[in-house]
Amino acid sequence: MTDINKKTIPHYTESIFYELKQTARLMKFHATQQFEALGIDLSPEEYSTLDTVMCNPSLCQRDLAKLLLLDRANTGRILNKLEEKKLIIRTVDTKKNRLIKKVDITADGIKELEEINKKIYNKYMEIADKIPSEEIEAIKISIRELRANLEKHIENKI
């Protein structure tokens, strides 16, 4: 008899992976509802993309897609919407003798991001207010470590 037969394997629904997946889904639902209720003219995906561009200036679309964990087609669709709203600008550059599009946030994009952050900050703080800030920091560290380990085990073909 192998070791695996001696152990009772817990159900997936009892795992950290299930908890993270369900929490992420609820956060997406919550964000969508809050953005609509607050009259924010961006989707949560557009917002997170804009914030990522703000924090990582002059990224090419492929590298941005990797950071967002989105395929390039969805990343391009979101960037098109942000560009139409004049919140980002894409410029053509070269990298290793290949043309690439770099993405940067505009002044209007910075202003929009700041306004959205003011609107949603308290809403997000209400969710976490029952958990001490030290525990939140510890959770963030643990999740980052889990994600870093997970990244070692996947092939990201974005």
Tokens 């550059």 belong to residue: 93
Average pLDDT across the chain, whole number: 92
Residues 56 and 23: their CA atoms lie apart, in Å, by: 26
Q: Cite the DSSP H helix spans in the chain.
A: 3-6, 16-37, 44-55, 61-68, 72-84, 107-128, 133-152
Which pLDDT value is given to residue 31? 94
Q: What pLDDT score was predicted for residue 7?
A: 78
Domains of the chain: 41-152 (1.10.10.10)
The share of the chain scoring above pLDDT 70, in percent, equals 95
Start-to-end C-alpha separation, the chain: 42
Which parts of the chain sit beneath pLDDT 50? Answer: 1
Q: How many CB atoms lie within 10 A of CB 84?
A: 9
At 27 the pLDDT is 93
Q: What's phi and psi for 100, nearest 5 deg?
A: -135, 155
